[in-house]
Every structure is written in C-alpha cells, then in structure tokens.
Amino acid sequence: MIIPAVDLIDGKVVRLFQGDYAQQTDFDVEPLAQLLSYQQQGAEWLHIVDLTGAKSPNKRQLTLIKTLAARLSASVQVGGGIRTKQQVKELLDAGVSRVVIGSLAVKQPRLVSEWFKEFGNEKICLALDINIDEKGNKIVAVSGWQQASEYTIEQLIQQYQIVGLKHALVTDISCDGTLSGSNVNLYKELHQQFPDIHWQASGGIGNLSNVSSVKQSGAHSLIIGKALLINEFNVEEAISCWQNA
C-alpha cells in the first residue's frame, strides 16, 4: 500500500532533511488541498506528522488535525509529540484512525504496552528510526534522531509482540530526505524475521524504481513524502507501480 505523507509545522507543509529542523523546506501548498489530491488519486491511507508537536508537545496542532480528518474519507495516521494516553485518546476522538508512537515507545515500553492493551493493535503504530552501525546492528534512535537508545530494533519488536504489535514504521535515518533510494535489504530482513508485522517503509524514495524495490522486499506499505511534493511522480503512478511490482 502507498501511504502519502505530509509534515506540518505551524499549519504549513514542510520537509526536514534527516529530521533536522535547521534544514527545513517549505512548500506552497495547503495541507487539506494536498491531502485531498492524494486521496482523489487513490490513496486509502494518509500519514501526517505534527512536527510542531514533536518539538513542543504543548503546541500540538490538534485543531488542524481534527479539521483534516473530518474532511478526508481516507484513513489517517498521525505522529508527532505524543507523550500521554490522553493525547492518544484526543487524536482518536478527533477522527484519526491510527496513532504513531516514536521515542516514547523506546523510552517507556511498559507504558506504551499498556496503550496497546487499552486501544488495540490496529490503533497504534510504532515508529522506529534506526542507525545501522559498522557491525550491522540496527540501533533505534530517539529524541529527533539525536540520541541512540540501548535497543536494537529486533529487541524492541520482540518486546512489543507480547502485546500484539501489528504495525511498525521503520526509517533508516541515513536514507531520509535523500531521494537516493530506500534500504531495501533492511525491510527484507525484517519481513523474514517478523513476517506477521505490517512493516511500513519510509525514507529515501526518489523514483518509481525505488517504489518497486520496496514492494519486492516484503514491506506491507510505503510512506512517500518529499518525492510527491516535488513531483518526481504522482500518487496514482506510485499505486500502479506498487500493484504491478
């Protein structure tokens, strides 16, 4: 499945290069118009990142997200700055179909595991951003990719499988924003090791060949942001490529 993405800062559509707020590109498009275009081209799911909320959780763009979810018929998953059960509930009550939990899932796995039990595994997606070291260890990063955690991705997945983890969004940080292709081998390895997880690939997609390669890796879904915004290809083309890969 192709999942188009928009990142939002103060209501504007932006992209960061490898998560760096100092390397921000603004796009002269309205969030709703952009998401509606993606939906009209066939997207069944849309991915929204609240970058304002990720940086300052007390400034989360909940009102905007609620407006977007109400106007869209596609399902929406949202991440960015989620720190409490109340914030998860607020997003679900606002019409969001799935909440994406990043750093907190790494820092407080016991707490987030309780949310799986309360809300169900269809309502929560883990976002695991990784750096691969010289030994091939897939180390999960936290705090906007600024800090390495003590976990490999395999260790975290095994921990969350106990509470029924189904959806996991994985980004190889070195690929993000580069348009130079995704880490296909990473998704192949994860799919082979954990075939029951619906892996969402993210980062590095620059052309339709990249889309085809990710489909063949066994990933369940592919999140595409920058390539769509700069018109390397459109959603309809990406969906067709995915279906025919």
d(CA 197, CA 24): 32
In which band, very low, low, confident or very high, does the pLDDT at 143 lie, cut at 50, 70 and 90?
Answer: low
The contacts of residue 179 (CB under 8 Å, 6+ apart) are: 204, 205, 206, 207, 226, 227, 232
**Length of the chain in terms of residues written:** 245
Residue 177 one-letter amino acid: G
Is 145 a residue whose pLDDT tops 70?
Answer: no
In which band, very low, low, confident or very high, does the pLDDT at 21 lie, cut at 50, 70 and 90?
Answer: confident
**Residue whose pair of structure tokens reads 């999140």 in the numeric block:** 223
Considering the candidates 7, 50, 172, 176, report the single residue annotated as catalytic.
7
The reply to whether 176 belongs to the active site is no
Is 159 a residue whose pLDDT tops 90?
Answer: yes
Considering the candidates 50, 129, 172, 176, report the single residue annotated as catalytic.
129
Q: What is the pTM of this model?
A: 0.94
Is 57 a residue whose pLDDT tops 60?
Answer: yes
Can you tell me the mean pLDDT for 103-111?
94
Lowest mean pLDDT across 32-46, 51-65, 215-229: 51-65
d(CA 24, CA 15): 6
The 10s digit of each residue's pLDDT in 192-235 is 999 999 999 998 899 999 999 999 999 999 999 999 999 999 99
- Which domains, and CATH codes, for the chain? 2-244 (3.20.20.70)
CA separation (Å) from 101 to 7, 114, 115, 166, 228?
15, 13, 10, 13, 24
Contact yes or no for 11/63 (Cβ under 8 A): no
The contacts of residue 150 (CB under 8 Å, 6+ apart) are: none
The reply to whether 50 belongs to the active site is no
d(CA 83, CA 110): 13
Q: Name the 3-class secondary structure at 226.
A: helix
In which band, very low, low, confident or very high, does the pLDDT at 146 lie, cut at 50, 70 and 90?
Answer: low
Q: What is the pLDDT of residue 232?
A: 96
Is 174 a residue whose pLDDT tops 90?
Answer: no
